[in-house]
A and B are shown apart, each in its own frame.
Chain A
Amino acid sequence: MKYADEFRNRVIAEGLARAIAAEADPQRLYHFIEFCGGHTHAICRYGLEDMLPGNVRMIHGPGCPVCVLPPGRIDMAITLAERDEVILCVYGDLMRVPGSQGQSLLRAKARGADIRIVYSALDAIRTAEQTPDRNAVFFAIGFEATTPPTAVMIQVAEKRQLGNFSVFCNHMLTPAAMNSILESPDIRDIGRIEVDGFVGPGHVSTIIGTEPYEPFAEEFGKPVVIAGFEPLDVMQAILMLVRQVNEGRYEVENQYGRAVTREGNLLAKKKMSDIFELRDQFEWRGLGLVPYGGLKLKQAYAQFDAEVRFAMHELRVADNPACDCGAILRAVKKPADCKLFGTVCTPETPMGSCMVSAEGACAAHWIYGRFRGPQLRRAS
């Protein structure tokens, strides 16, 4: 496959693996968080961890929008979908995310709620057009990379005067979450793990650029390398992080130059700021209330805001107390440290959201990496 195989080349990968092994100081450990679920997926799917020296460890971060959606937002969506006039249009990944008390959109659908799986916001617009006597609500979720399409759809709905289309907005902002991770008491005070650097978001950065990470790198003294999602991108980013650590640098570097600039996509940023504004705070599963962690529709577009139109009440629901998703999302614990992992919590019966999406840290570890060890290494 052209433009994909080039970034999955084994010979180049082996060269990068040798360079990482040669440059990583055997006297120390390197802990890097890959922020994005897409990076987690690449690492697991291609078996990258087998190619890294034992002292370079990757920690799966919180960058899967499904995983950080708190159960209260799922409960709100279920209540909304149970209204007779509502067709809730959602991405398939969301269907099994646990709300409170074992509820999920999948179960609500089985009970009769009109919930339809869509593949883009445009499908939700079509649903609104095809069912003028019902209300189509798009369950918008994702970080900055998926926000501009939602903005465009709201503009389309306005232009077409679609009175029966609205958006349940759950868009979140990544730099706020990265700050929140490093400011979490577990990391700041207890220092249970030392984070040496971040593989920074790829798709998100195509929109927001590399600039927003600069104050972060400066303030926390941690290197950030923005990386693409192909396995060679991730390998190269790891090498760049090892070099920064070795040289005592903490800069924002851009490995993903073929898609990301310092300024980002100005048009997309403008669309976002035209339609959305910051929420004072937004709850992230595992991180709690993150200041300025999410977006909402501006007052001028309130007619397309499902929370306004249907007078939805904000719900906050505590996670299952035994579930360690919070600590795992903050990279304080590994999936296998959670006592639910692989016992009552599996991809078939997820307790926490990290087990739901294929990009979630727990699901990725379960599917691709559990019992990783000598046995698997023999296979390669």
Chain B
Amino acid sequence: MRAKAYQDKLDIKNGCVDLSHGSGGRAMAQLISGLFHEAFGNEWLARGNDQSAFDVRAGRMVMTTDGYVISPLFFPGGDIGSLAVHGTVNDVAMAGARPLYLSASFIIEEGFRFSDLKMIADSMGEAARAAGVYIITGDTKVVERGKADGLFISTTGVGVLPDGLDLSAEKARVGDRVLVSGSLGDHGVAIMSKRQNFAFETEIVSDSAALYDLVAEMLAAGGGGIRAMRDPTRGGLAATLNEIAHQSGLGFRLQEEAIPVKPAVLAACELLGLDPLYVANEGKLVAIVAPEIADAVLAAMRANPLGRDAADIGEAVDDDHQFVQLSTSFGGGRIVDWLSGEQLPRIC
């Protein structure tokens, strides 16, 4: 009979993380195998090495990294775990690449409850499986109470690009159409509704979701006519389009009426003095596409549940100032500038 690896079982229900769980000793090994391996379950982690080896195909790969410090950790429609998977696989997917592997690094505050950690790890595992990616390596650090707000997660993603695909914002051309995959501002408003001092009732849930399948279907429909894709997270649609304008040297002209925003999001923004164009999304994408394929790509988007409310909201225009302009539903015009300062801290 094999020797018992650990003295006591991890008390998931009542226990909490202490400094020993980051010390490199037995307690850490128990936390990793008992909680993370369980949740992420795959052949690479099971081998228990400090790194994982995987096969690469000939061709180009994509790599991205992101840190997650969202508060609160649990929110309507997700938690920091699912977000740490979705956010990073989406960054890979926006290049048109298929996400394959993730690393995950956890910085945990002493006293963090095992039960919460398990829920978050399980949710990461579930999100990874649903997105078809594997979390194949990771790290755990524990810091003293007060040195981190519960839990921070950092994930790195690797993916492969189809041959010949090179999406990039500088490829945008005058006349290109701007497509969004659905309603804007859901994530930011869902987070806000749960903030301390700020709580309000809303049926809005975060749109946090993995977008690669949608991307693949758009690429199949649009081929080389898709110039660039971006997920409008922090700073919302406004920041994303300003970035693309800056990179491409073009301006954008949007029609406010065409931009999908849920009434409950509009109402919350109205109440809080926010502009939905600046509010974060975690399951939406913006695509700049050649005008001749815009309708086909839009139809492909709408056929996917994550793109059901996709819309054509405007076009790229020649503009030395590289402004994003909006024709308001009211009949006037205005500039949609970069966000100044912070509308809301720690939303992802």
Q: Which of B325, B328, B330 gathers most chain A CB within 10 Å? A: B330
Question: Are A367 and B335 closer than 8 Å at their CB atoms?
Answer: yes
Question: Are A48 and B340 closer than 8 Å at their CB atoms?
Answer: no
With a CB–CB cut-off of 8 A, which chain B residues contact A14?
A: 331
Partner of B333, one of A17, A118, A376: A376
Whether A13 sits at the interface, judged by CB under 8 Å, is yes
Question: Are A51 and B331 closer than 8 Å at their CB atoms?
Answer: yes
Question: Are B321 and A96 closer than 8 Å at their CB atoms?
Answer: no
Whether B170 sits at the interface, judged by CB under 8 Å, is no
Whether B332 sits at the interface, judged by CB under 8 Å, is yes
Interface string of A1-14 (1 = CB under 8 A from B): 10010001010011
Closest residue of A by beta carbon distance from B195: A119
With a CB–CB cut-off of 8 A, which chain B residues contact A358?
A: 273
With the chains together, A376 CA to B270 CA distance in Å?
Answer: 25
Question: Are B335 and A8 closer than 8 Å at their CB atoms?
Answer: no
With the chains together, A379 CA to B326 CA distance in Å?
Answer: 7
A interface, size bucket: 35 or more
With the chains together, A137 CA to B275 CA distance in Å?
Answer: 30
With the chains together, A366 CA to B337 CA distance in Å?
Answer: 9
Question: Are A1 and B334 closer than 8 Å at their CB atoms?
Answer: no
With the chains together, A379 CA to B319 CA distance in Å?
Answer: 11
B interface, size bucket: 20 to 34
**Contact of A17 with B331 at beta-carbon distance under 8 Å, contacts A363-B340, A367-B340 already known:** yes
Question: Are B335 and A368 closer than 8 Å at their CB atoms?
Answer: yes
Question: Are A119 and B331 closer than 8 Å at their CB atoms?
Answer: no
Chain A nearest Cβ from B178, distance in angstroms? 14
Q: Tell me the chain B residues, 293-348 only, with Cβ under 8 Å from chain A.
A: 317, 319, 321, 323, 325-335, 337, 340-341
Of A39-47, A65-73, A236-244, A328-336, the one contacting chain B is A39-47
Question: Are A380 and B327 closer than 8 Å at their CB atoms?
Answer: yes
Chain A nearest Cβ from B78, distance in angstroms? 24
Chain A nearest Cβ from B336, distance in angstroms? 9
**Contact of A47 with B332 at beta-carbon distance under 8 Å, contacts A119-B198, A379-B325 already known:** yes
Chain A interface SS verdict (over half): helix
With a CB–CB cut-off of 8 A, which chain A residues contact B327?
A: 47, 379-380
Q: Which of B267, B275, B328 gathers most chain A CB within 10 Å? A: B328
Closest residue of B by beta carbon distance from A231: B330
With a CB–CB cut-off of 8 A, which chain A residues contact B321?
A: 371, 375
**Contact of A44 with B267 at beta-carbon distance under 8 Å, contacts A348-B340, A363-B340, A379-B327 already known:** no
Interface string of A27-64 (1 = CB under 8 A from B): 00000000000000000111111110000000000000
Question: Are B341 and A47 closer than 8 Å at their CB atoms?
Answer: no
Chain A nearest Cβ from B106, distance in angstroms? 26
What is the interface of chain A, defined by CB distance below 8 A to chain B? 1, 4, 8, 10, 13-14, 17, 44-51, 96, 118-119, 123, 126, 231, 346-348, 358, 363, 366-371, 375-377, 379-380
| 17 A–B pairs (Cβ distance < 8 Å), ordered by A | A13-B330, A14-B331, A45-B275, A45-B334, A46-B332, A47-B326, A47-B330, A47-B331, A47-B333, A49-B332, A126-B197, A347-B341, A368-B334, A375-B321, A376-B333, A377-B333, A380-B333
What is the interface of chain B, defined by CB distance below 8 A to chain A? 197-198, 253, 263, 266-267, 270, 273, 275, 317, 319, 321, 323, 325-335, 337, 340-341
